[in-house]
Amino acid sequence: MDYTALRTWDIVTYLSYAKLTLMKDSKVVSNAEFRLKGNGGFALNKWRSTDTKIDELVDELMGVKSRK
For residues 33, 22, 29, 59, the Cα torsion angle rounded to the nearest 10 degrees is -60
CB 29 within 8 A of CB 22: yes
For residue range 14-62, list pLDDT tens digits in order. 999 999 999 999 999 999 999 998 877 778 788 899 999 999 999 999 9
pTM of the model: 0.80
